[in-house]
Amino acid sequence: QVQLVESGGGSVQAGGSLRLSCSASGYPYSRSRFSMGWFRQSPGKEREGVAAINSDGGTRYANSVKGRFTISQDNAKNILYLQMNSLKPEDTAMYYCAAEGRSLLLFSQLLVPNEYNYWGQGTQVTVSS
């Protein structure tokens, strides 16, 4: 069973930066077959895709974070990162790490929560103005 544990959340002022980490373990087969993503959810809102990286290395970002957030991974350590710069109050949310390994996700699927079958518990990010 894949286990995902997020860390790195916190409270920052607008314009600040945070780096989220997602430590993964328990892959049933090669880590290289998994697509990984970061999602976020605010109270009263649906969970939305923020950034994702496919098993072939392709990435996709939500328009709202393009140019500010960067997704990366350390395959040797099984850690997924999300570098968040120029944070805005509207970035405030619970951030979740997700993994999907049943099939290679299409570009159009990368930011769709329902396409992922493994989820972490989340880490809170709060950005004050």
Q: What is the pLDDT of residue 31?
A: 67
* CA–CA gap between residue 19 and residue 30 (Å, rounded): 26
Q: What is the pLDDT of residue 57?
A: 84
Per-residue pLDDT of the chain (129 residues; tens, 9 = 90+): 889 999 999 999 999 999 999 999 887 767 677 899 999 999 999 999 999 998 888 899 999 999 999 999 988 888 999 999 999 999 999 999 999 987 778 899 999 999 999 999 999 999 999
Tokens standing for residue 25: 């373990």
CB 16 within 8 A of CB 127: yes
Instruction: Give the three-state DSSP class for 56.
Output: coil
Q: In 81-117, which positions are buried (b, 16+ CB within 10 angstroms) versus exposed (e)? A: bbebeebeeebbbbbbbbbbbeeebeeebbbbeebbe
Q: What is the pLDDT of residue 105?
A: 87
Name every residue whose Cβ is closer than 8 Å to that of residue 63 and which is 6 or more positions away in sequence.
none
* CA–CA gap between residue 62 and residue 49 (Å, rounded): 7
